[in-house]
Protein backbone atom coordinates (compact mmCIF):
# COMPACT_ATOMS: atom_id res chain seq x y z
CA UNK A 1 0.00 0.00 0.00
CA UNK A 2 1.22 3.49 -0.85
CA UNK A 3 1.58 5.29 2.53
CA UNK A 4 -0.62 8.32 3.15
CA UNK A 5 2.38 10.63 3.43
CA UNK A 6 3.55 9.53 -0.03
CA UNK A 7 0.02 10.03 -1.38
CA UNK A 8 0.05 13.57 0.03
CA UNK A 9 3.48 14.19 -1.44
CA UNK A 10 2.26 13.12 -4.90
CA UNK A 11 -0.74 15.45 -4.64
CA UNK A 12 1.58 18.30 -3.69
CA UNK A 13 3.62 17.66 -6.83
CA UNK A 14 0.69 18.90 -8.93
CA UNK A 15 1.78 22.44 -8.14
CA UNK A 16 5.22 21.68 -9.55
CA UNK A 17 3.53 20.14 -12.61
CA UNK A 18 1.63 23.38 -13.19
CA UNK A 19 4.93 25.32 -13.03
CA UNK A 20 6.45 23.00 -15.64
CA UNK A 21 3.46 23.43 -17.93
CA UNK A 22 3.77 27.20 -17.63
CA UNK A 23 7.49 26.96 -18.46
CA UNK A 24 6.76 24.86 -21.56
CA UNK A 25 4.14 27.42 -22.66
CA UNK A 26 6.83 30.12 -22.72
CA UNK A 27 8.17 30.38 -26.30
CA UNK A 28 11.54 31.54 -24.99
CA UNK A 29 12.39 28.12 -23.55
CA UNK A 30 12.69 26.65 -27.05
CA UNK A 31 15.85 28.70 -27.60
CA UNK A 32 17.44 27.06 -24.52
CA UNK A 33 17.81 23.43 -25.54
CA UNK A 34 19.34 22.11 -22.30
CA UNK A 35 16.63 23.70 -20.15
CA UNK A 36 13.90 22.55 -22.54
CA UNK A 37 15.16 18.98 -22.37
CA UNK A 38 15.31 19.03 -18.56
CA UNK A 39 11.85 20.60 -18.13
CA UNK A 40 10.26 18.31 -20.74
CA UNK A 41 11.62 15.18 -19.08
CA UNK A 42 10.49 16.25 -15.60
CA UNK A 43 7.06 17.15 -17.00
CA UNK A 44 6.75 13.75 -18.68
CA UNK A 45 7.93 11.92 -15.53
CA UNK A 46 5.32 13.66 -13.36
CA UNK A 47 2.60 13.12 -15.97
CA UNK A 48 3.31 9.36 -15.89
CA UNK A 49 3.33 9.38 -12.08
CA UNK A 50 -0.05 11.12 -11.89
CA UNK A 51 -1.57 8.69 -14.40
CA UNK A 52 -0.36 5.76 -12.30
CA UNK A 53 -1.53 7.39 -9.06
CA UNK A 54 -5.01 8.24 -10.40
CA UNK A 55 -5.41 4.69 -11.74
CA UNK A 56 -4.37 3.31 -8.34
CA UNK A 57 -6.94 5.46 -6.54
CA UNK A 58 -9.61 4.37 -9.02
CA UNK A 59 -8.74 0.72 -8.40
CA UNK A 60 -9.03 1.21 -4.62
CA UNK A 61 -12.41 2.88 -5.08
CA UNK A 62 -13.55 -0.08 -7.17
CA UNK A 63 -12.41 -2.50 -4.45
CA UNK A 64 -14.40 -0.56 -1.81
CA UNK A 65 -17.54 -0.50 -3.96
CA UNK A 66 -17.37 -4.24 -4.60
CA UNK A 67 -16.84 -4.99 -0.91
CA UNK A 68 -19.86 -2.86 -0.03
CA UNK A 69 -21.83 -4.85 -2.61
CA UNK A 70 -20.70 -8.11 -1.02
CA UNK A 71 -21.83 -6.88 2.38
CA UNK A 72 -25.35 -6.10 1.16
CA UNK A 73 -25.94 -8.53 -1.71
CA UNK A 74 -27.28 -12.07 -1.35
CA UNK A 75 -27.50 -12.98 -5.05
CA UNK A 76 -24.86 -15.67 -5.66
CA UNK A 77 -24.11 -14.61 -9.24
CA UNK A 78 -23.60 -10.95 -8.32
CA UNK A 79 -21.41 -11.93 -5.37
CA UNK A 80 -19.26 -14.07 -7.66
CA UNK A 81 -18.82 -11.17 -10.08
CA UNK A 82 -17.94 -8.82 -7.22
CA UNK A 83 -15.34 -11.24 -5.85
CA UNK A 84 -13.78 -11.62 -9.32
CA UNK A 85 -13.63 -7.82 -9.70
CA UNK A 86 -12.00 -7.48 -6.27
CA UNK A 87 -9.31 -10.05 -7.16
CA UNK A 88 -8.59 -8.31 -10.47
CA UNK A 89 -8.50 -4.83 -8.95
CA UNK A 90 -6.27 -5.94 -6.06
CA UNK A 91 -3.76 -7.36 -8.53
CA UNK A 92 -3.92 -4.15 -10.55
CA UNK A 93 -3.44 -1.98 -7.46
CA UNK A 94 -0.39 -4.01 -6.38
CA UNK A 95 1.25 -3.52 -9.78
CA UNK A 96 0.42 0.20 -9.73
CA UNK A 97 1.87 0.57 -6.22
CA UNK A 98 5.16 -0.91 -7.44
CA UNK A 99 5.18 1.37 -10.49
CA UNK A 100 4.42 4.43 -8.33
CA UNK A 101 7.28 3.69 -5.96
CA UNK A 102 9.66 3.19 -8.88
CA UNK A 103 8.47 6.48 -10.44
CA UNK A 104 9.30 8.26 -7.19
CA UNK A 105 12.96 7.22 -7.35
CA UNK A 106 15.29 10.22 -7.67
CA UNK A 107 16.27 10.62 -11.34
CA UNK A 108 19.88 10.18 -12.37
CA UNK A 109 21.43 13.67 -12.76
CA UNK A 110 22.53 12.63 -16.26
CA UNK A 111 19.07 11.52 -17.41
CA UNK A 112 18.27 14.84 -19.07
CA UNK A 113 21.49 14.84 -21.09
CA UNK A 114 22.15 13.72 -24.62
CA UNK A 115 24.94 11.18 -25.00
CA UNK A 116 28.03 10.26 -26.98
CA UNK A 117 28.73 6.57 -27.57
CA UNK A 118 32.09 5.14 -28.57
CA UNK A 119 32.41 1.58 -29.90
CA UNK A 120 35.79 -0.08 -30.40
CA UNK A 121 36.86 -3.68 -31.11
CA UNK A 122 39.01 -5.13 -28.33
CA UNK A 123 40.14 -8.79 -28.49
CA UNK A 124 39.52 -10.78 -31.64
CA UNK A 125 40.98 -8.91 -34.60
CA UNK A 126 38.79 -8.81 -37.71
CA UNK A 127 35.95 -10.70 -36.01
CA UNK A 128 35.80 -8.12 -33.22
CA UNK A 129 35.73 -5.32 -35.81
CA UNK A 130 32.88 -7.04 -37.66
CA UNK A 131 30.84 -7.40 -34.47
CA UNK A 132 31.56 -3.76 -33.56
CA UNK A 133 29.95 -2.84 -36.87
CA UNK A 134 26.94 -5.09 -36.20
CA UNK A 135 26.48 -3.66 -32.71
CA UNK A 136 26.66 -0.14 -34.11
CA UNK A 137 23.98 -0.98 -36.67
CA UNK A 138 21.80 -2.43 -33.90
CA UNK A 139 22.09 0.85 -31.98
CA UNK A 140 21.25 2.82 -35.13
CA UNK A 141 18.07 0.79 -35.65
CA UNK A 142 17.12 1.04 -31.97
CA UNK A 143 17.59 4.82 -32.11
CA UNK A 144 15.28 4.95 -35.14
CA UNK A 145 12.65 2.92 -33.24
CA UNK A 146 12.89 5.34 -30.31
CA UNK A 147 12.66 8.44 -32.50
CA UNK A 148 16.11 9.64 -31.40
CA UNK A 149 18.43 11.76 -33.53
CA UNK A 150 21.79 10.11 -34.32
CA UNK A 151 24.86 11.97 -35.56
CA UNK A 152 28.07 10.17 -36.52
CA UNK A 153 31.00 12.13 -35.09
CA UNK A 154 33.89 9.90 -36.14
CA UNK A 155 34.08 6.54 -37.90
CA UNK A 156 36.91 4.36 -39.17
CA UNK A 157 36.06 1.19 -41.13
CA UNK A 158 38.00 -1.97 -41.95
CA UNK A 159 38.44 -3.47 -45.41
CA UNK A 160 36.17 -6.40 -44.45
CA UNK A 161 33.22 -4.20 -43.54
CA UNK A 162 33.90 -3.96 -39.83
CA UNK A 163 34.62 -0.92 -37.68
CA UNK A 164 37.94 0.12 -36.18
CA UNK A 165 36.19 2.74 -34.09
CA UNK A 166 33.02 4.82 -34.20
CA UNK A 167 31.80 7.75 -32.11
CA UNK A 168 28.27 9.05 -32.44
CA UNK A 169 25.82 11.19 -30.52
CA UNK A 170 22.22 10.40 -29.60
CA UNK A 171 19.70 13.06 -28.67
CA UNK A 172 16.09 12.63 -27.65
CA UNK A 173 13.90 11.47 -24.79
CA UNK A 174 15.51 9.22 -22.16
CA UNK A 175 18.60 8.47 -24.24
CA UNK A 176 20.92 8.28 -21.23
CA UNK A 177 18.51 6.48 -18.90
CA UNK A 178 18.09 3.68 -21.46
CA UNK A 179 21.53 3.49 -23.04
CA UNK A 180 23.71 3.88 -19.92
CA UNK A 181 23.45 0.12 -19.32
CA UNK A 182 25.32 -0.51 -22.59
CA UNK A 183 28.65 0.72 -21.17
CA UNK A 184 31.21 -2.03 -20.80
CA UNK A 185 32.65 -5.04 -22.61
CA UNK A 186 30.36 -6.93 -24.99
CA UNK A 187 31.53 -10.48 -25.70
CA UNK A 188 30.52 -12.40 -28.83
CA UNK A 189 30.81 -16.16 -29.30
CA UNK A 190 30.28 -17.52 -32.83
CA UNK A 191 31.92 -19.10 -35.86
CA UNK A 192 33.48 -16.24 -37.86
CA UNK A 193 32.78 -16.06 -41.58
CA UNK A 194 36.55 -16.15 -42.08
CA UNK A 195 36.90 -19.42 -40.12
CA UNK A 196 37.17 -22.41 -42.45
CA UNK A 197 37.26 -25.02 -39.68
CA UNK A 198 33.92 -24.08 -38.14
CA UNK A 199 35.40 -23.37 -34.71
CA UNK A 200 33.65 -20.99 -32.30
CA UNK A 201 35.69 -17.88 -31.54
CA UNK A 202 35.28 -15.44 -28.65
CA UNK A 203 35.80 -11.75 -29.37
CA UNK A 204 35.10 -8.59 -27.43
CA UNK A 205 33.99 -5.05 -28.15
CA UNK A 206 34.05 -2.10 -25.77
CA UNK A 207 31.22 0.41 -25.54
CA UNK A 208 31.44 3.72 -23.69
CA UNK A 209 28.22 5.70 -23.07
CA UNK A 210 29.02 9.24 -21.96
CA UNK A 211 26.60 12.05 -21.13
CA UNK A 212 27.30 15.15 -23.18
CA UNK A 213 28.85 17.84 -21.02
CA UNK A 214 28.13 21.53 -20.89
CA UNK A 215 31.36 23.55 -20.82
CA UNK A 216 30.26 25.26 -17.59
CA UNK A 217 30.12 21.89 -15.82
CA UNK A 218 33.84 21.35 -16.30
CA UNK A 219 35.36 24.74 -15.53
CA UNK A 220 37.84 24.53 -18.42
CA UNK A 221 40.29 27.37 -18.91
CA UNK A 222 41.24 28.19 -22.52
CA UNK A 223 44.93 27.90 -21.64
CA UNK A 224 44.36 24.28 -20.54
CA UNK A 225 43.52 23.24 -24.10
CA UNK A 226 46.09 22.60 -26.83
CA UNK A 227 45.00 22.32 -30.47
CA UNK A 228 47.09 20.59 -33.14
CA UNK A 229 46.13 20.40 -36.81
CA UNK A 230 47.35 17.80 -39.29
CA UNK A 231 46.42 16.17 -42.56
CA UNK A 232 43.72 13.55 -42.50
CA UNK A 233 44.70 10.00 -43.35
CA UNK A 234 42.79 7.24 -45.04
CA UNK A 235 40.01 7.49 -47.66
CA UNK A 236 38.18 10.72 -48.23
CA UNK A 237 39.38 12.18 -51.50
CA UNK A 238 41.93 14.79 -52.41
CA UNK A 239 40.42 17.58 -50.34
CA UNK A 240 40.61 15.59 -47.12
CA UNK A 241 44.11 14.26 -47.60
CA UNK A 242 45.88 17.39 -48.84
CA UNK A 243 44.72 20.02 -46.33
CA UNK A 244 45.34 20.39 -42.61
CA UNK A 245 41.70 19.72 -41.74
CA UNK A 246 42.18 17.14 -38.96
CA UNK A 247 42.26 18.46 -35.39
CA UNK A 248 43.60 17.03 -32.15
CA UNK A 249 42.63 18.72 -28.89
CA UNK A 250 44.37 17.90 -25.62
CA UNK A 251 43.34 18.85 -22.11
CA UNK A 252 46.78 19.49 -20.64
CA UNK A 253 46.02 18.98 -16.90
CA UNK A 254 44.50 15.50 -17.41
CA UNK A 255 46.29 14.45 -20.58
CA UNK A 256 42.99 13.48 -22.20
CA UNK A 257 43.20 13.87 -25.97
CA UNK A 258 40.77 13.53 -28.88
CA UNK A 259 41.46 13.71 -32.62
CA UNK A 260 38.84 14.22 -35.31
CA UNK A 261 39.29 13.92 -39.06
CA UNK A 262 35.75 12.94 -40.08
CA UNK A 263 34.90 16.20 -41.82
CA UNK A 264 36.60 18.28 -44.53
CA UNK A 265 36.27 21.41 -42.41
CA UNK A 266 38.88 22.09 -39.74
CA UNK A 267 36.28 24.12 -37.80
CA UNK A 268 33.84 21.20 -37.83
CA UNK A 269 36.51 18.72 -36.74
CA UNK A 270 37.45 21.03 -33.88
CA UNK A 271 33.82 21.17 -32.77
CA UNK A 272 33.50 17.36 -32.87
CA UNK A 273 36.78 16.83 -31.00
CA UNK A 274 35.69 19.23 -28.25
CA UNK A 275 32.31 17.53 -27.85
CA UNK A 276 33.94 14.14 -27.41
CA UNK A 277 36.64 15.54 -25.13
CA UNK A 278 34.10 17.25 -22.87
CA UNK A 279 32.09 14.04 -22.64
CA UNK A 280 35.21 12.04 -21.71
CA UNK A 281 36.17 14.65 -19.13
CA UNK A 282 32.72 14.56 -17.53
CA UNK A 283 32.87 10.76 -17.46
CA UNK A 284 36.33 10.97 -15.86
CA UNK A 285 35.13 13.51 -13.29
CA UNK A 286 32.06 11.47 -12.34
CA UNK A 287 34.11 8.27 -12.11
CA UNK A 288 36.54 10.00 -9.73
CA UNK A 289 33.62 11.10 -7.56
CA UNK A 290 32.22 7.55 -7.54
CA UNK A 291 35.63 6.14 -6.58
CA UNK A 292 35.63 8.32 -3.48
CA UNK A 293 32.57 6.50 -2.16
CA UNK A 294 32.87 3.39 -0.01
CA UNK A 295 32.68 0.15 -1.99
CA UNK A 296 29.58 -1.03 -0.13
CA UNK A 297 27.71 2.11 -1.18
CA UNK A 298 28.36 1.72 -4.88
CA UNK A 299 25.60 0.70 -7.24
CA UNK A 300 24.92 -3.02 -7.35
CA UNK A 301 24.28 -2.90 -11.09
CA UNK A 302 27.93 -2.39 -11.99
CA UNK A 303 30.14 0.62 -12.32
CA UNK A 304 29.36 1.25 -15.96
CA UNK A 305 33.07 1.21 -16.58
CA UNK A 306 34.05 0.26 -20.12
CA UNK A 307 36.41 -2.43 -18.75
CA UNK A 308 33.60 -4.38 -17.11
CA UNK A 309 32.26 -7.39 -19.04
CA UNK A 310 28.53 -6.91 -19.12
CA UNK A 311 27.03 -9.09 -21.83
CA UNK A 312 27.63 -12.19 -23.96
CA UNK A 313 26.12 -12.77 -27.41
CA UNK A 314 26.18 -16.53 -28.03
CA UNK A 315 25.18 -17.06 -31.67
CA UNK A 316 25.19 -20.92 -31.72
CA UNK A 317 22.68 -20.94 -28.85
CA UNK A 318 20.76 -17.85 -30.07
CA UNK A 319 21.22 -16.45 -26.56
CA UNK A 320 22.09 -13.05 -25.12
CA UNK A 321 23.10 -12.99 -21.45
CA UNK A 322 23.47 -9.88 -19.32
CA UNK A 323 25.82 -10.86 -16.52
CA UNK A 324 24.98 -7.96 -14.19
CA UNK A 325 21.30 -8.84 -13.96
CA UNK A 326 21.32 -12.60 -14.71
CA UNK A 327 19.01 -12.01 -17.68
CA UNK A 328 18.80 -14.24 -20.74
CA UNK A 329 16.92 -13.71 -23.96
CA UNK A 330 16.78 -16.17 -26.84
CA UNK A 331 15.88 -13.63 -29.52
CA UNK A 332 19.42 -12.69 -30.54
CA UNK A 333 18.58 -12.00 -34.23
CA UNK A 334 15.78 -9.61 -33.23
CA UNK A 335 18.04 -7.85 -30.75
CA UNK A 336 20.71 -7.38 -33.42
CA UNK A 337 18.00 -5.85 -35.63
CA UNK A 338 17.53 -3.08 -33.10
CA UNK A 339 14.95 -4.59 -30.72
CA UNK A 340 17.08 -3.83 -27.67
CA UNK A 341 13.98 -3.45 -25.51
CA UNK A 342 13.94 -7.27 -25.36
CA UNK A 343 16.71 -7.01 -22.79
CA UNK A 344 16.68 -3.33 -21.77
CA UNK A 345 13.12 -3.41 -20.42
CA UNK A 346 14.11 -6.21 -18.02
CA UNK A 347 17.32 -4.41 -17.05
CA UNK A 348 15.50 -1.14 -16.33
CA UNK A 349 12.94 -2.86 -14.08
CA UNK A 350 15.55 -4.81 -12.09
CA UNK A 351 17.82 -1.75 -11.78
CA UNK A 352 14.93 0.35 -10.44
CA UNK A 353 13.95 -2.36 -7.96
CA UNK A 354 17.54 -2.57 -6.72
CA UNK A 355 17.70 1.20 -6.26
CA UNK A 356 14.40 1.09 -4.37
CA UNK A 357 15.77 -1.62 -2.06
CA UNK A 358 18.89 0.46 -1.43
CA UNK A 359 16.79 3.50 -0.48
CA UNK A 360 14.70 1.40 1.89
CA UNK A 361 17.84 0.08 3.60
CA UNK A 362 19.52 3.51 3.80
What is the model's pLDDT at position 38? 83
* Tens-digit pLDDT profile for residues 306-343: 557 899 999 999 999 999 999 999 999 999 999 999 99
Q: Count other Cβ atoms within 10 Å, centred on residue 284.
A: 15
Residue (of 316, 311, 300) closest to 343 by Cα position: 311
Mark out the alpha helices in the chain (DSSP H runs): 4-24, 33-72, 76-103, 125-146, 175-179, 215-218, 238-242, 266-291, 332-336, 341-361
Low-confidence stretches of the chain (pLDDT < 50) are 235-240, 294-305
Residue range 216-291 forms a domain whose CATH class is: alpha beta
Residue 246: count other Cβ atoms within 10 Å of its Cβ: 22
CATH topology for 4-103 is: Methane Monooxygenase Hydroxylase; Chain G, domain 1 (1.20.58)
CA distance 57 to 331: 38
Whole-number Å distance between alpha carbons of 306 and 63: 49
Classify strands 184-190 and 309-314 as parallel, antiparallel or unpaired.
parallel
Per-residue pLDDT, 217: 65
**What's the pTM?**
0.74
Q: Where are the domains of the chain?
A: 4-103, 115-212+302-361, 216-291
pLDDT number for residue 304? 43
Q: Distance of CA 135 to CAs 60, 83, 141, 186, 336, Å?
A: 46, 50, 10, 9, 7
CATH of region 115-212+302-361, choose from 3.40.50.300, 3.30.70.1660, 3.40.30.10, 3.40.50.2300: 3.30.70.1660
End-to-end Cα separation, the chain, in angstroms: 20
> What pLDDT does 188 receive?
93
What's the pLDDT score for residue 2?
57
Give residue 301's pLDDT: 39
Check the CA dihedral 150-151-155-159 and report its sign: positive
- pLDDT tens, position by position, 223-278: 888 988 887 765 444 444 556 788 899 998 888 888 888 788 888 888 888 888 88
- Say how far apart CA 127 and CA 232 lie, in whole Å: 26
**Nearest C-alpha neighbor of 115 from the set 181, 206, 165:** 181
Amino acid sequence: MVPEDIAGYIDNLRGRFAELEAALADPGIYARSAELRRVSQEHRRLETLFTQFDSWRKALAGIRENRELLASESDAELRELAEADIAELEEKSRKLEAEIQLSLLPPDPNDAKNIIIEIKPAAGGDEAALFAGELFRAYVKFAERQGWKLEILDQSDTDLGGIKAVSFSLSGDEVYSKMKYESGVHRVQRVPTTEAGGRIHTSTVTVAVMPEAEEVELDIRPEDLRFDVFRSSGPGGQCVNTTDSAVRVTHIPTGLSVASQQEKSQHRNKEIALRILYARMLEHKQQQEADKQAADKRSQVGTGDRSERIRTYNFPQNRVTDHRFNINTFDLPKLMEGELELILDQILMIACERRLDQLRQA
